[in-house]
Protein backbone atom coordinates (compact mmCIF):
# COMPACT_ATOMS: atom_id res chain seq x y z
CA UNK A 1 0.00 0.00 0.00
CA UNK A 2 2.94 2.31 0.65
CA UNK A 3 4.01 2.01 -2.97
CA UNK A 4 0.44 2.39 -4.25
CA UNK A 5 -0.12 5.63 -2.37
CA UNK A 6 3.28 6.93 -3.54
CA UNK A 7 2.34 6.07 -7.13
CA UNK A 8 -1.01 7.86 -6.79
CA UNK A 9 0.61 10.96 -5.33
CA UNK A 10 3.12 10.90 -8.18
CA UNK A 11 0.24 10.66 -10.67
CA UNK A 12 -1.43 13.66 -9.05
CA UNK A 13 1.86 15.57 -9.13
CA UNK A 14 2.29 14.87 -12.84
CA UNK A 15 -1.29 15.96 -13.60
CA UNK A 16 -0.77 19.19 -11.65
CA UNK A 17 2.41 19.89 -13.64
CA UNK A 18 0.66 19.85 -17.03
CA UNK A 19 0.20 23.44 -18.30
CA UNK A 20 1.71 24.42 -14.96
CA UNK A 21 1.93 28.18 -15.53
CA UNK A 22 -1.74 28.49 -16.49
CA UNK A 23 -3.13 26.43 -13.61
CA UNK A 24 -4.78 27.91 -10.53
CA UNK A 25 -2.28 28.98 -7.81
CA UNK A 26 -3.78 26.47 -5.35
CA UNK A 27 -3.30 23.61 -7.83
CA UNK A 28 0.31 24.63 -8.53
CA UNK A 29 1.01 24.67 -4.78
CA UNK A 30 -0.76 21.33 -4.43
CA UNK A 31 1.49 19.93 -7.14
CA UNK A 32 4.59 21.03 -5.21
CA UNK A 33 3.19 19.39 -2.07
CA UNK A 34 2.57 16.16 -3.98
CA UNK A 35 6.10 16.13 -5.36
CA UNK A 36 7.40 16.67 -1.81
CA UNK A 37 5.34 13.69 -0.67
CA UNK A 38 6.80 11.47 -3.38
CA UNK A 39 10.34 12.64 -2.59
CA UNK A 40 9.97 12.12 1.16
CA UNK A 41 8.41 8.67 0.66
CA UNK A 42 11.40 7.79 -1.51
CA UNK A 43 13.76 9.03 1.20
CA UNK A 44 11.92 6.92 3.79
CA UNK A 45 12.25 3.82 1.59
CA UNK A 46 15.98 4.40 1.01
CA UNK A 47 16.55 4.93 4.73
CA UNK A 48 14.64 1.77 5.64
CA UNK A 49 16.62 -0.48 3.31
CA UNK A 50 19.79 0.96 4.82
CA UNK A 51 18.52 0.17 8.33
CA UNK A 52 18.06 3.83 9.27
CA UNK A 53 14.85 5.14 10.81
CA UNK A 54 12.40 5.75 7.97
CA UNK A 55 10.60 8.27 10.18
CA UNK A 56 13.02 10.99 9.13
CA UNK A 57 11.46 11.12 5.67
CA UNK A 58 8.00 11.61 7.13
CA UNK A 59 9.27 14.16 9.62
CA UNK A 60 10.82 16.25 6.85
CA UNK A 61 7.57 16.09 4.89
CA UNK A 62 5.53 17.20 7.90
CA UNK A 63 7.77 20.24 8.28
CA UNK A 64 7.65 21.18 4.59
CA UNK A 65 3.99 20.51 3.84
CA UNK A 66 2.21 22.83 6.30
CA UNK A 67 3.39 26.10 4.67
CA UNK A 68 2.26 24.71 1.29
CA UNK A 69 -1.13 23.66 2.66
CA UNK A 70 -1.53 27.07 4.31
CA UNK A 71 -0.85 28.78 0.98
CA UNK A 72 -3.29 26.43 -0.77
CA UNK A 73 -6.12 27.44 1.56
CA UNK A 74 -5.06 31.08 1.59
CA UNK A 75 -5.30 31.21 -2.22
CA UNK A 76 -8.54 29.20 -2.25
CA UNK A 77 -10.37 31.60 0.08
CA UNK A 78 -9.70 34.84 -1.80
CA UNK A 79 -6.45 35.56 0.09
CA UNK A 80 -8.15 36.46 3.34
CA UNK A 81 -6.72 36.32 6.90
CA UNK A 82 -3.10 36.45 5.76
CA UNK A 83 -1.78 37.25 9.25
CA UNK A 84 -3.60 34.27 10.77
CA UNK A 85 -2.14 31.87 8.22
CA UNK A 86 1.32 33.38 8.75
CA UNK A 87 1.22 33.12 12.56
CA UNK A 88 -0.03 29.53 12.42
CA UNK A 89 2.73 28.65 9.97
CA UNK A 90 5.52 30.21 12.05
CA UNK A 91 4.39 28.60 15.31
CA UNK A 92 3.97 25.22 13.66
CA UNK A 93 7.35 25.29 11.91
CA UNK A 94 9.18 26.29 15.10
CA UNK A 95 7.51 23.54 17.15
CA UNK A 96 7.96 20.88 14.44
CA UNK A 97 11.68 21.58 14.03
CA UNK A 98 12.18 21.70 17.81
CA UNK A 99 10.32 18.39 18.19
CA UNK A 100 12.44 16.71 15.50
CA UNK A 101 15.78 17.91 16.87
CA UNK A 102 15.24 17.71 20.62
CA UNK A 103 12.23 15.56 21.53
CA UNK A 104 11.06 12.73 19.27
CA UNK A 105 14.05 12.76 16.89
CA UNK A 106 14.07 9.50 14.89
CA UNK A 107 10.80 8.29 16.37
CA UNK A 108 7.43 8.69 14.71
CA UNK A 109 6.88 12.43 15.23
CA UNK A 110 3.38 12.09 16.64
CA UNK A 111 3.48 15.52 18.31
CA UNK A 112 3.96 17.16 14.93
CA UNK A 113 1.41 14.88 13.25
CA UNK A 114 -1.23 15.76 15.84
CA UNK A 115 -0.61 19.49 15.41
CA UNK A 116 -0.60 19.17 11.61
CA UNK A 117 -3.85 17.18 11.65
CA UNK A 118 -5.63 19.66 13.88
CA UNK A 119 -4.51 22.61 11.76
CA UNK A 120 -5.55 20.98 8.47
CA UNK A 121 -8.92 19.95 9.93
CA UNK A 122 -9.52 23.57 10.95
CA UNK A 123 -8.45 24.74 7.47
CA UNK A 124 -10.79 22.22 5.83
CA UNK A 125 -13.77 23.24 7.98
CA UNK A 126 -12.96 26.89 7.35
CA UNK A 127 -12.93 26.21 3.60
CA UNK A 128 -16.35 24.53 3.75
CA UNK A 129 -17.65 27.51 5.75
CA UNK A 130 -16.17 29.89 3.17
CA UNK A 131 -17.87 27.93 0.38
CA UNK A 132 -21.24 28.29 2.07
CA UNK A 133 -20.70 32.02 2.51
CA UNK A 134 -19.16 32.84 -0.88
CA UNK A 135 -21.06 30.30 -3.01
CA UNK A 136 -18.64 30.61 -5.96
CA UNK A 137 -20.85 28.16 -7.87
CA UNK A 138 -24.09 26.27 -7.33
CA UNK A 139 -22.38 23.00 -8.30
CA UNK A 140 -19.78 22.73 -5.55
CA UNK A 141 -18.81 19.21 -6.65
CA UNK A 142 -17.39 20.76 -9.83
CA UNK A 143 -14.87 22.83 -7.88
CA UNK A 144 -11.43 21.13 -7.94
CA UNK A 145 -10.63 22.39 -4.44
CA UNK A 146 -13.81 20.81 -3.08
CA UNK A 147 -12.34 17.36 -3.83
CA UNK A 148 -8.89 18.27 -2.54
CA UNK A 149 -10.39 19.60 0.68
CA UNK A 150 -12.49 16.47 1.11
CA UNK A 151 -9.38 14.33 0.66
CA UNK A 152 -7.51 16.31 3.28
CA UNK A 153 -10.26 16.16 5.90
CA UNK A 154 -10.79 12.41 5.40
CA UNK A 155 -7.08 11.69 5.81
CA UNK A 156 -6.28 13.97 8.73
CA UNK A 157 -9.54 13.54 10.66
CA UNK A 158 -9.51 9.80 10.01
CA UNK A 159 -5.97 9.37 11.32
CA UNK A 160 -6.03 11.89 14.18
CA UNK A 161 -6.77 9.32 16.90
CA UNK A 162 -4.09 7.01 15.51
CA UNK A 163 -1.55 9.82 15.79
CA UNK A 164 -2.74 10.62 19.33
CA UNK A 165 -2.42 7.04 20.61
CA UNK A 166 0.51 5.82 18.47
CA UNK A 167 3.17 6.47 21.11
CA UNK A 168 1.09 4.71 23.77
CA UNK A 169 0.48 1.72 21.51
CA UNK A 170 4.18 1.36 20.72
CA UNK A 171 5.79 2.18 24.09
CA UNK A 172 3.22 0.74 26.50
CA UNK A 173 1.45 -2.01 24.57
CA UNK A 174 4.45 -2.91 22.37
CA UNK A 175 2.22 -2.82 19.32
CA UNK A 176 4.01 -2.66 15.96
CA UNK A 177 1.12 -0.61 14.48
CA UNK A 178 0.92 -2.92 11.44
CA UNK A 179 -2.89 -3.11 11.42
CA UNK A 180 -3.31 0.56 12.35
CA UNK A 181 -0.79 1.72 9.76
CA UNK A 182 -2.55 -0.36 7.11
CA UNK A 183 -5.70 1.64 7.89
CA UNK A 184 -3.61 4.81 7.71
CA UNK A 185 -2.34 3.85 4.27
CA UNK A 186 -5.89 3.06 3.10
CA UNK A 187 -6.97 6.56 4.07
CA UNK A 188 -3.92 7.99 2.31
CA UNK A 189 -5.00 6.14 -0.84
CA UNK A 190 -8.53 7.58 -0.55
CA UNK A 191 -6.99 11.03 -0.05
CA UNK A 192 -4.81 10.58 -3.14
CA UNK A 193 -7.77 9.46 -5.30
CA UNK A 194 -9.82 12.50 -4.24
CA UNK A 195 -6.88 14.82 -4.89
CA UNK A 196 -6.38 13.30 -8.34
CA UNK A 197 -10.10 13.86 -9.01
CA UNK A 198 -9.72 17.54 -8.13
CA UNK A 199 -6.51 18.00 -10.12
CA UNK A 200 -8.02 16.23 -13.16
CA UNK A 201 -11.11 18.44 -12.95
CA UNK A 202 -8.94 21.56 -12.83
CA UNK A 203 -6.98 20.34 -15.87
CA UNK A 204 -10.20 19.80 -17.82
CA UNK A 205 -11.40 23.27 -16.84
CA UNK A 206 -8.12 24.81 -17.94
CA UNK A 207 -8.20 23.00 -21.30
CA UNK A 208 -11.81 24.09 -21.86
CA UNK A 209 -11.04 27.74 -21.14
CA UNK A 210 -7.95 27.55 -23.37
CA UNK A 211 -9.92 26.09 -26.28
CA UNK A 212 -12.61 28.80 -25.96
CA UNK A 213 -9.98 31.52 -26.03
The CA angle 185-39-76, to the nearest 5 degrees, is: 75
**143-198 pLDDT tens trace:** 999 999 999 999 999 999 999 998 888 777 777 777 888 899 999 999 999 999 99
| Structural domain includes residue 131 | yes
The yes-or-no verdict on residue 46 having pLDDT over 80 is yes
Residue 148 CB burial class (10 angstroms; 0-12, 13-18, ≥19): buried
Q: What is the pLDDT of residue 212?
A: 60
| Residues 62 and 97: beta-carbon distance below 8 Å | no
- Where in the sequence is the domain holding 55, given as residue range(s)? 2-16+23-201
| Structural domain includes residue 211 | no
Q: What is the pLDDT of residue 177?
A: 76
| Structural domain includes residue 207 | no
| Residues 40 and 75: beta-carbon distance below 8 Å | no
| Structural domain includes residue 112 | yes
**69-92 pLDDT tens trace:** 999 999 999 888 999 999 999 999
| Structural domain includes residue 212 | no
Residue of 124 and 209 predicted with greater confidence: 124
Q: Share the mean pLDDT of the chain.
A: 92
| Structural domain includes residue 179 | yes
CA distance 69 to 151: 13
Q: What is the pLDDT of residue 213?
A: 56
| Structural domain includes residue 89 | yes
| Structural domain includes residue 101 | yes
CA distance 89 to 162: 23
Task: Note the pTM of the prediction, 2 decimals.
Answer: 0.94
User: What is the number of structural domains in the chain?
Assistant: 1
Amino acid sequence: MFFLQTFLFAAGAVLSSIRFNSRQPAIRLLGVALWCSVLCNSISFILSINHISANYGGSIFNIVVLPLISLIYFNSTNRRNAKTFLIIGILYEASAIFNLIFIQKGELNTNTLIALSLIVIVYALYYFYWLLQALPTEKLHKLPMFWVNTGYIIYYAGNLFLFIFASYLVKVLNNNLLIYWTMHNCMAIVEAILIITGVSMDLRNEKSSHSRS
